[in-house]
Amino acid sequence: MKHTLAALGWALCFATLPHAALAQDPGKMLGGLLQNILKPNAAGNNSAPAAAANNTDLVGLLSQSMEQIDEPKEIEMGRQLAAVLLGAKPLHRDVALQRYVNRLGRWISLQSDRPNLPWTFAVLDDTGYNAFAAPGGYVFVTKGLVDSVADESELAGIVAHEIHHVVAKHHLAAMRKSAQTGLLTRAIASQLGNNAQGALSAQLLALGREVYSKGLDQSDEFDADRSGVALAARAGFDPYGLVAVLQQLRTAKPDNPVFTLALSTHPATQVRLDQLEAAMGQRLDALSGKPSPSVAQRMAPAGNR
Ligand SMILES: [Zn+2]
């Protein structure tokens, strides 16, 4: 950790990325995002063409060891969960915003330990304040969250936190834990009769729903905070971004509906801040003070291209 923080340097700032690595056709952006999520083989990268075909025993796999869930299956599970999520909350229609968040997220994911996943980042059309990740490289933030961050480093901190959940397979592990209790899957299967494909998808969905409504283990959240700070820093962002977000969340009233879900599925914000401080301490102090552009400022030049 010390090494990664010490080794940063602002030269790798987001703005200096080679343009080719970021190029997206804005007109096709929303359609492309949807395609990535809704069509199994459109994700490109290293998702194996056979990933979706072998759809029938994803839930069965969850009762096995983590090692037996290979990357294509992990990606396929995440894609199905992402599709469900998108069914509930559509993508925001601002193509420039989608492009910006994708670019930001992909750049950060390239600094992670799993740069080759088919990373997909998207903004959901939702005024609430939330961020989600699904196995295999899917990360969603709500429009409400994007609107509420003070600057780019805060958004980067949140996205990096979610990226680490994917890198460390936190949701996959949590779903596996739920699946192994067996109770949930049997209950769902009996409700759905013998439609195997439908029943299995519904089981996956039920497992996902349970994990997303209950939230992850606290230790996974602390891990994502610590690693998210380091990852955002490695990508050239002010590592205080996530800290600033947590400070904002701490002062949010628990009954403010905008923050309800984010607060209920994560450990107490003060505890998260204490944990981060203990982990990062003075190493963070040495890095503070770099002003970050706001999201609006960052998007302005991109919109003129
Ligand atoms: Zn989290």
Q: Is residue 12 part of a domain?
A: no
pLDDT for residue 205 = 79
Q: Is residue 2 part of a domain?
A: no
Q: Is residue 24 part of a domain?
A: no
Q: How far is ligand 1, taken at its centre, from the CA of residue 25, in Å?
A: 31
- Per the CB < 8 A criterion, the answer to whether 125 and 91 are in contact is yes
Q: How far is ligand 1, taken at its centre, from the CA of residue 133, in Å?
A: 8
Q: Is residue 53 part of a domain?
A: yes
pLDDT for residue 144 = 93
pLDDT for residue 285 = 57
Q: How far is ligand 1, taken at its centre, from the CA of residue 168, in Å?
A: 12
* Cα dist from 2 to 118, 158, 200, 232, whole Å: 29, 21, 44, 14
For the chain, how many residues are written?
305
- Residues in the chain predicted with pLDDT less than 70, given as ranges, are 1-29, 31, 37-58, 182-200, 253-264, 281-290, 301-305
Q: In what order do the strands lie in the sheet with 131-134?
A: 120-124, 138-142, 131-134
pLDDT for residue 186 = 56
Q: How far is ligand 1, taken at its centre, from the CA of residue 219, in Å?
A: 10
Q: How far is ligand 1, taken at its centre, from the CA of residue 43, in Å?
A: 24
pLDDT tens readout for residues 191-243: 555 455 555 577 777 788 888 888 889 999 999 999 999 999 999 999 889 98
Q: Give the residue numbers spanning the domain of 119.
A: 30-304
pLDDT for residue 252 = 73
Q: Is residue 210 part of a domain?
A: yes
pLDDT tens readout for residues 250-271: 777 666 666 655 666 777 788 8
Q: Which residues of 280-290 are buried (b: 16+ CB within 10 A; e: fewer)?
A: beebbeebeee
Nearest to 79 by CA among 44, 131, 113, 106: 44
Q: Is residue 117 part of a domain?
A: yes
Q: How far is ligand 1, taken at its centre, from the CA of residue 13, in Å?
A: 25
pLDDT for residue 18 = 31
Q: How far is ligand 1, taken at its centre, from the CA of residue 196, in Å?
A: 32
- Number of compact structural domains in the chain: 1
* Cα dist from 14 to 18, 21, 56, whole Å: 9, 12, 41
Q: How far is ligand 1, taken at its centre, from the CA of residue 7, in Å?
A: 25
Q: Is residue 104 part of a domain?
A: yes
Q: Is residue 219 part of a domain?
A: yes
